Structure formats: C-alpha cells, structure tokens
Amino acid sequence: MRDVVSARDTAVELVCSRLDEAQRSATPVRPQEDWPQLSLDQAYAAQARLVDRRLQRGEQQVGLKLGFTSEAKMRQMGIDELIIGVLTDGMQVPDGGRVDLGTLVHPRVEPEVAFRFGRDLDLADAALQVADLQGALDGVAAGIEVIDSRYEGFSFDLPRVVADNTSAAAFTTGEWVDPDSVQIGELAVTLSIAGAVAAEGSTAAILGHPLSTLPHLLSLGRKLGLSVPAGSVVLAGAATAAVPLLAGDVVVRVAGLGEAHLTGV
Ligand code: OOG
C-alpha cells in the first residue's frame, strides 16, 4: 500500500515540477513522451503543489477561477467538465496594464465576468450555502483572463489541464460595480483586439447566468478544501472561445457592466 501511495506521489511531484519549469521558462512540455497518467484527484493535488511553489516564492493567493462554464469553451477544448484553479497576485495585472508576451508560451485571451467577495468564506464549511456566497458578493466587474497552457500545442485532457492550474496565466478586472445595482444574466460581451472585434457573446453563455457558477464554486471548493478570504476575486469562466493574445490592446466590454483592458507587449 505504501509503495502504491508513494509511486502516485512521485507522479504528482513529477508533473508539478515539469509544469512549474515550463511556466517559468515559457517552454512548453510534451506530455506525449513519458508523462504519468494522473487521476483527477491527483491532478488537483499536482495543482495544489504547483500553487504552493508560487506561494513559497512570495506570491499571494488573490482568488479562484472556474473553467469550462460555457459551451463555446467546452467545444473549443473538447472538455465538458467544470474545473477550478487558483489566481495569485503574480498573475494580476492592473486594468489597462501590460502583459509581457515573452514570458508566455502561446497566450490566449478570454472575456470574463469577475466576482469579488467581501467577507471570508471557508468553502470546506459544511454549513455554508450558495446563498451565503451570493450574500458575500460585494462587487462584479468585466474581466479579461489570459490563459497559457504549458502543454505543447495547447493540447490536453481533463487531468492535464487541472494539473496545469487550468492554464491560468494573467488576469485583469475593470471597475467593480455593486452587485445589487446590475442584472448580469444577459449582457452583451465583446472582446476586441487592436480595435477589431475578435469575439462576441453574452453573459448568458456562462451556465445560463454567471451566478449559476456559484453552486459549482461551492462544490468544487468544498471538495478541495479551498477558502475565499475577503477581497478574493473569482472569474466565472469565459463567455466565448479564447482568442490568441498578440501585441496590442485588448478590451472586454460587458454592456451595462463595464470594460476591462490590457495590452500585450
Ligand atoms: C483551460 C481554461 C478554461 C475558461 O474560462 O473556460 C477557462 C483552457 O482552455 O486552457 O479558463
């Protein structure tokens, strides 16, 4: 039994090391060669270790992100299960800030709706309800996520993308709006790159309504024992398919909610 556990542990550590190295050197890994098969639980264990390494290097956790919450994303990547990843301050870009393309492998951008929570939430607490999450929401904003798979060809299966911290690379959020002052269920979303519209959709593409992600945030977060300290940002997942990030200005506009901006350099 012990041998089985330690062999599994070695696989998790190996995957974590390779992904960490790939991210830091902006050099993709080739999982087809000599890549351990991980279960989904092991993949989340690898993700937790990968995030731990970043925290040990001085980064702070600032939030969480959900992935594959829209049909467009599921179809684009061929995965139909919701996933969760961790956001750190090392990934956070001020609104209108720059993203250095030289530090990334093959980045793509996605238009997002972002939530901000105003009080500490321990998702592992069995008494916590979806209504508590909704009650703790103190801001909603337009957002941009930069994803950058550390796998060659941006190609992965479910455990691989989970281990790779759901391709999280960078993100920004626009001005925070009081969640009670805006209905976010069906707002037009536009992603523009260098002044040209690159993707269009609706917030309804995110599980029918971005707030429908909260039960998933709770169940995935509970399973993994995640916490959401006050001030945390949660990205609800892309409303459209992702688009390559090139040098130039990126603007996400969510009609009636706001805009978020960044520049690829
Ligand atoms: C995985 C991340 C997916 C989303 O919003 O659906 C994601 C990927 O496509 O590389 O962030």
Pair of tokens at residue 151: 């796998």
d(CA 44, CA 50): 10
Q: Is 204 in the pocket of ligand 1 (CB under 6 A)?
A: no
**Ligand 1 neighbourhood includes 252 CB (under 6 angstroms):** no
Kindly report the pTM of this predicted structure.
Answer: 0.96
Query: Which amino acid residue places its CA nearest to atom 11 of ligand 1?
Result: 67
Note whether 182 and 140 are within 8 A (CB).
Answer: yes
State phi, psi for 79 to the nearest 5 degrees. Answer: -130, 135
DSSP state of 70: B
Position 173, amino acid: T
| CA 244/CA 99 separation, integer angstroms | 13
Q: Are 49 and 10 in contact (CB under 8 A)?
A: no
97 by DSSP, 3-state: which?
A: strand
In the chain, which residues have pLDDT < 50?
1-2
Say if domain 2-264 classifies as CATH 3.40.1210.10.
no
pLDDT at 2 (0 to 100): 47
Q: Is 110 in the pocket of ligand 1 (CB under 6 A)?
A: yes
DSSP state of 104: -
- ipTM over 0.90? The verdict is yes
The pLDDT of residue 34: 85
Ligand 1 center–CA 166 separation, angstroms: 6
pLDDT in tens, 118-163: 999 999 999 999 999 999 999 999 999 999 999 999 999 999 999 9
Alpha carbon distance 261, 170 (integer Å): 12
Is the CB of 166 within 6 Å of ligand 1?
A: yes
